[in-house]
Structure 1
Amino acid sequence: MVERGSHRQRSIALVGAATALLIVLAGCSAGPEGSACQAPRPAPPAETALMPDGLSFDKIGTVTRVMSTQGHITVRAVTAKNLDEVTVLIQDAVTAAGYRPAGMDNEGFEAEVFFTSGLYAAGQAVVRRAECEGQWDIELVLIDPETVPPPTTRRSVP
């Protein structure tokens, strides 16, 4: 009888250990609480208010950070759209804010979109694979539209 009780205690201990292991592993799974791939946290309204008038990422993805420093505005975002689509959407969004597209370079794993304002190079968006499968990180840096000098007229020389 002693052997039977001992066997039962070992079985209970093994089941308890297995249950504890499953709980620990569940915490490391792709679930919402333990995942490195949680939904991106949107930037607070005070930050998104720094974006140039007319610039919207509504069709692109989630804006996670906006900073204004030394005449530049940086917008960071995350998207689940494919690379080809997101580069076109970024170009459309920045054009709606008054900038002009100046070119694009798409290497399949990373892309850059370039912009001008008047005669000036005015910014660049870089899109790179994110840590989470199927997501892309976007970093858009634009010259603050309020710092762009007005276009000048040239006098013709006789």
Structure 2
Amino acid sequence: MVERGHLPSMAAMVVLSVVLAGCAGASGGDAAAACVAPHPAPPAETALMPAALSLDRIGTVTHVVRTDGHLTVQAVTTKPLDEVTVLIQDAVTAAGYRPAGMDNEGFEAEVFFTSGSFAAGQALVRRAACEGQWDIDLVLVDPDAVPSSTAVPTAT
């Protein structure tokens, strides 16, 4: 029989063993189980994206900021790297940019874009901290900030 004075310590041991068992399962090789789902960017941020630019088929947009003629979109995806680069190219092309090349090294990839005759953006896709996820950093020049390719400079 257990003495009265030892009940609290036994209860603490049971709770501790349950907690440790849960932690061991999460860190014992199943990194994805330890990761939380990415938090979507608030609507006020996603409203900064051009209407034709959608990353819905790609992943979760987590942050959007517009500064000094640039749009930066951060997202997280679980799609394979080769598929992600093509989907990014499709999404940005739908927003009026043209693809300008791709560099895929297997552990990270870059997709480049133009607008008119100007370099207008890049998407960088890298492994995320969570296994099976990729972080996307997309930076585009605001199309309104790019001079028209048909504009003729005026003499001063």
Provide the TM-score with structure 1 as the length reference. Answer: 0.82
CA distance in 2, matches of 1:62, 1:153: 37
Structure 2 residue aligned with 1:144, among 114, 130, 142? 142
Tell me the amino acid that sits aligned with residue 119 of structure 2. A
Select between 128-137 and 21-30 the one with higher mean Cα deviation: 21-30
Structure 1 residue aligned with 2:13, among 3, 14, 18? 18
1:119: Cα distance to partner? 0.4
Partner of 1:129: 127
CA distance in 2, matches of 1:52, 1:136: 23
Partner of 2:115: 117
1:12: Cα distance to partner? 5.0
Q: Tell whether the 8 Å contact from 1:129 to 1:135 is kept in structure 2 after alignment.
A: yes
Partner of 2:90: 92
CA distance in 2, matches of 1:80, 1:15: 43
Partner of 2:73: 75
* Unpaired stretches in structure 1, ≥5 consecutive residues: none
Partner of 1:66: 64
Which of these two proteins has the greater Rg computed from alpha carbons? 1
1:146: Cα distance to partner? 1.0
* Unpaired stretches in structure 2, ≥5 consecutive residues: 27-32
Tell me the amino acid that sits aligned with residue 19 of structure 1. V
Residues 49, 29 of structure 1: alpha-carbon distance in 2 compared, 3 angstrom cutoff: farther
Residue-by-residue CA offset, 1:105-126 (whole Å, 9 max, x unaligned): 0000000000000000000000
What is the DSSP-based 3-state SS (H/G/I as helix, E as strand, rest coil) of the residue aligned with 1:87? Answer: helix
CA distance in 1, matches of 2:109, 2:23: 35
Tell me the amino acid that sits aligned with residue 89 of structure 2. Q
What is the DSSP-based 3-state SS (H/G/I as helix, E as strand, rest coil) of the residue aligned with 1:20? Answer: helix
Q: Tell whether the 8 Å contact from 1:51 to 1:66 is kept in structure 2 after alignment.
A: yes
Q: Quote the sequence identity (%).
A: 68
Partner of 1:39: 37
Tell me the amino acid that sits aligned with residue 98 of structure 2. R
Residues matched between the structures, number:
144
Residues 17, 153 of structure 1: alpha-carbon distance in 2 compared, 3 angstrom cutoff: closer
Residue-by-residue CA offset, 1:51-75 (whole Å, 9 max, x unaligned): 1231000100000000001100000
Provide the TM-score with structure 2 as the length reference. Answer: 0.83
4+ aligned runs moved over 2 Å, structure 1: 8-18, 22-30
